[in-house]
Chain A
Amino acid sequence: MADLNNFTIDGLKCLAREGTSIIDAARQNDQFIPTLCNLEGVPPKGACRVCTVRVNGKLMTACTAKISQGMEIENQTEELNEMRKSIVEMLFVEGNHFCPSCEKSGECELQALAYRFEMTVPRYPYFYPKRNIDASHPRIVKDHNRCILCKRCVRAIKDEKGRSIFAFLDRGFETRIYLDPDLAGQLTEERARKAVEVCPVGAIMPRGEGFKTPIGRRKYDRHPIGSDM
């Protein structure tokens, strides 16, 4: 097993195959590194920066950096968690996230991380951007108010030729998620369901249903994010 590397996370001895991303390697060793954009089995993007760790003293995103022999990774430190909390808070103020009426509540990764980081009072001013809802597709509703531009949908939802059905439109603060008009028809029932599933927030929702899972049985009601590791 020559390609197995030894490394540590917060001083704990770990083992993973060379070339594995830090975030996957951590998962394999039962260590939780928070993320909003990374998705197992989908090429990483390094978009959200929530998975930032210190590797041999340097800050790196755990989804894009790869494991190597002897790495010393700091993960659950006060400094890093404070930084991650700030990122989550900035994502909240940058969009319009009204958890009380959002059907993703209880299953939303952004909300779950906010709870984990004990985000209680707002520290940054709200932007209250004016964004719309796009319900023109018969299978999904896109709520741009909630999109955190993680690009999971773009990376994970493809047609049989491997083309992304979702794309980004415009730039900077105007960036929003967009259904390629030529490929929108390829968003089958199954792909639509998957798009809803991969979206970490409530920006992609199924048409005609909501709040199906009762409070108490939602994903994070019983098992707060990261509690399984």
Chain B
Amino acid sequence: MAQKITISPLTRVEGHGKVTIHLNDEGEVIQSKLHIVEFRGFERFIQGRPYWEAPVLVQRLCGICPVSHHLAAAKAMDVVVGAGTGDGLTPTAEKVRRLMHYGQILQSHALHFFHLASPDLLFGMDADPAVRNVIALAKSSEYKELAVQGIMMRKFGQEIIKATAGKKIHGTGAIPGGVNKSLSVDERDFFLKGEDPLNADAMIEWAESAIALFLDYHKKNSELLDNFSRFPSNHLSLVGDDGALDLYHGRLRAVDSEGSKILHDIDGQEYLNYIGEEVRSWSYMKFPFLTELGKEKGWYRVGPLARLNTCEFIPTPRAQQAFEAYKVYTGGKPNDMCMHTHWARLIETLFAAESIKNLLEDPDILKDDLATKGARQSEGVGLLEAPRGTLFHHYRVNEQDQITMANLIVSTTHNNQPMNEAVAYVARKEMSGQKTITEPMMNAVEVAIRAYDPCLSCATHALGRMPLEVALYDSHGCLIERKTR
């Protein structure tokens, strides 16, 4: 008879990642599932609210990347107020929003790499979580400087957000059809010529040195970084009209694991014709897929790895150089190495830093032509590349300006299947033939999920361990063990 081991009490933590693993009679893993308890109440309680509230209200979904939701909702409402998409806005509005977005990419990517990932890499994935964190990094003489850089990069990004959105978190800068402020000369100079090291040039330099740090680590640990949780998949993201990496605006493109286009640069307003969402009984979160390929084959990854697989080039020189070296590693083919997401993220960090500098040097960000309007529409879609991947906001608005429908597909949802694949990989590798859940197994699950950096509060815990629950079932469906932390 199967033995049932339960470790209790189980503390429910918000955003707790829960993994279940099923074994067959031989003790092999036959199925694993990552359950994410995500409450999407926003789509319901935004109904009835005036459309201009959406950018400010919906961003409350997240405290880490609210700017993404703020901008995606504003982009959808640009369409509603008749300002259109892309170059429909005034140059000032478009550029101030881009600045806000790249400020957020910089701070979020810095948080992710310096606070979350670098301790894993530098202290080792098996290191005690009590010392595998950014505080320990800051305390060690070897990595102190690195920790300081991470903290300062975040600060710089957050100050950019404050200057463009009004507040570091949950600002109001983007309004339907434009922005409510541009930059003053003082604000611009603060970022451009600010006291060392808080200026755009320092950010570019630090982003470059972070890439060098990763490459150095990669040299010594290529076996782990290349093979851990590696699996082929499709990749989806926005790309600029010319195929450039563009995190603020573009057309939707997807490529398969060989790099062939499977979604041909479509207009985001028509996403419903190309993307479906499957509901599975065991998860609250839907599973999106490309309808043409179906549920089985149509799932895809989003995020830094996917973006560098779909775009053709990066429109800033230093990031382009790093991108070329990155592409050489896979011979120009899509990169499916999960841990290379960190590499891709750092290249994007450099791109964000260079983009910030370019935007700051553009006189348009100082002008006052802030917003525009056209013929009112009843529906709008706003797409954006959030730090963790493509973000969709879709709204319908009635004649009385009230929102009647909202559909949000966040990057964590797009990455639902890939994260399940990653967990399955870890489960097969670490659990087959095991009767108990081991500590390295818990660590590996954490590292695999963290590569996607989903919007789970657990993935964003800067200190300590990811709240995680793993349950192991035998072939009769009886619980063998449940481990939580």
- Report whether chain A binds chain B: yes
Residues of chain A at the chain B interface (Cβ within 8 Å) = 100-101, 103, 132-133, 135-136, 141, 205, 207-217
B56 lies within 8 A of A211 (CB)? yes
Closest 6 CB pairs of A and B: A215-B166, A101-B57, A135-B400, A210-B52, A214-B181, A211-B172
Set of chain B residues within 8 Å of A217, measured between Cβ atoms: 181
Please indicate the chain A residues that have their CB under 8 angstroms from the CB of B294 in the complex: none
- How far, in whole Å, are A213 and B180 apart by their CA atoms in the complex? 6
* Known A135-B400, A217-B181; 4 more pairs at CB < 8 Å: A141-B50, A207-B50, A211-B55, A212-B180
Count of interface residues, chain B, beta-carbon cutoff 8 Å: 23
CB distance A135 to B180 under 8 Å? no
The distance in angstroms between the C-alpha atoms of A212 and B50, with both chains bound, is 15
A-side contacts of B167, CB under 8 Å = 215
Contact between B171 and A210 (Cβ–Cβ < 8 Å)? no
* Pair B166/A214 contact, Cβ less than 8 Å: yes
How far is A31 from B400 in the complex, measured between Cα atoms in Å? 43
Interface string of B276-292 (1 = CB under 8 A from A): 00000000000000000
A103-B53 contact given A132-B48, A214-B180, A215-B166, CB 8 Å threshold: yes
For the residues of B in contact with A, the DSSP-based class is loop
B173 within 8 A of A: yes
* Number of A-B contacts defined by CB within 8 Å: 58
CB<8 Å pairs between A and B, sample of 22: A100-B57, A100-B60, A100-B170, A101-B56, A101-B60, A103-B53, A133-B50, A135-B401, A135-B402, A205-B50, A208-B401, A209-B175, A210-B53, A210-B56, A210-B175, A211-B55, A211-B56, A211-B172, A211-B180, A214-B173, A215-B166, A215-B172
Interface residues of B in 401-438 (CB under 8 A from A): 401-402
Interface pair B180/A216, CB less than 8 Å apart: no
Q: Binary interface profile of B, 43-77, with partner A (CB < 8 Å = 1, else 0)?
A: 00000111011011100100000000000000000
Q: Which residues of B contact A208 (CB under 8 A)?
A: 52, 81, 401
CA distance A133 to B49 in the complex (A): 8
Contacts of A216 in B (CB 8 A): 166
Alpha-carbon distance between A135 and B401 when the two chains are bound, in angstroms: 7
A214 contacts B50, C-beta separation under 8 Å: no
Q: How far is A135 from B397 in the complex, measured between Cα atoms in Å?
A: 12
Minimum Cβ distance to chain B for residue A64 (Å): 35
Q: Which A-chain residue is minimally distant from B55 (CB atoms)?
A: A211
State A152–B171 Cα separation when bound (angstroms): 30
Which residues from B are CB-within-8-Å of A103? Answer: 52-53, 56
Which residues of A are found within 8 Å of B402, using beta-carbon distances? 133, 135
Are the C-beta atoms of A136 and B52 separated by less than 8 Å? no
Give A101's nearest chain B residue, CB to CB: B57
Contact A101 B401 (CB under 8 A): no
B50: chain A residues at CB < 8 Å are 133, 135, 141, 205, 207, 210
- Interfacial chain B residues near A133, Cβ < 8 Å: 48-50, 402
Q: Which A residue sits closest to B60, measured CB to CB?
A: A100
User: Which residues between 72 and 97 of chain B lie within 8 Å of chain A, taking CB atoms?
Assistant: 81
Q: How far is the CB of A199 from chain B (nearest CB, A)?
A: 15
B181: A residues at CB distance < 8 A: 214, 217
Chain B residues whose CB sits within 8 angstroms of the CB of A209 once the complex forms:
52, 175
With a CB–CB cut-off of 8 A, which chain B residues contact A100? Answer: 56-57, 60, 170
What's the nearest-Cβ distance from chain B to residue A107, in Å?
A: 12
Cβ of A141 and Cβ of B401 under 8 Å apart?
yes
Q: Quick one: which of B1-26 are within 8 Å of A by CB?
A: none
Taking CB atoms and an 8 Å cut-off, the chain B residues in 173-208 that contact chain A are 173, 175, 180-181
Closest to B398 in A: A135
Closest B residue to A138 by CB, please name it.
Answer: B400
Q: How near does chain B come to A3, taking the closest CB pair, in angstroms?
A: 49
CA distance A205 to B400 in the complex (A): 13
When chains A and B are docked, how far (Å) is the Cα of A94 from the Cα of B60?
23
Known contacts A135-B401, A211-B180, A212-B180; is-contact A101 B173 (Cβ 8 Å): no
Residue numbers in B under 8 Å from A210 (CB-CB): 50, 52-53, 56, 175
Q: What CA separation (Å) do A213 and B370 show in the bound complex?
A: 12
A56 to chain B, nearest CB (A): 46
Provide the residues of chain B in CB contact with A213, threshold 8 Å: 180
For the complex, give the distance between the alpha carbons of A141 and B51 in Å. Answer: 12
Neighbouring B residues of A212 by C-beta, 8 Å: 175, 180
Alpha-carbon distance between A37 and B165 when the two chains are bound, in angstroms: 32
Closest-CB distance, B164 to chain A (whole angstroms): 9
Most A CB within 10 A of own CB, among B49, B53, B81: B53
Contacts of A215 in B (CB 8 A): 165-167, 171-172
Residues of A within 8 A of B81 (CB): 208
Contacts of B173 in A (CB 8 A): 214
Give the shortest distance, in Å, between A137 (CB) and chain B (any CB): 9
Beta-carbon nearest neighbor of B52 in chain A: A210
Quick one: closest A residue to B400, CB to CB?
A135
Given A141-B401, A212-B180, A213-B180: A101 in contact with B53 (beta carbons within 8 A):
yes
Closest to B402 in A: A135
> In angstroms, how far is the closest chain A Cβ from the Cβ of B195?
22
A141: B residues at CB distance < 8 A: 50, 401
CB distance from B182 to the nearest CB of A (A): 10
Residues of B within 8 A of A211 (CB): 52, 55-56, 172, 175, 180
Residues of A with C-beta under 8 A to B55 = 211
A145, B93: Cα distance in complex, Å:
32
Instruction: Report the separation of the CA atoms of residues A145 and B167 in the bound assembly, to the nearest whole angstrom.
Output: 26
Chain B contacts of A101 at CB under 8 A?
49, 53, 56-57, 60
Inter-subunit contact B175/A207 (CB<8 Å): no
Write the nearest CB–CB distance from A108 to chain B, whole angstroms: 14
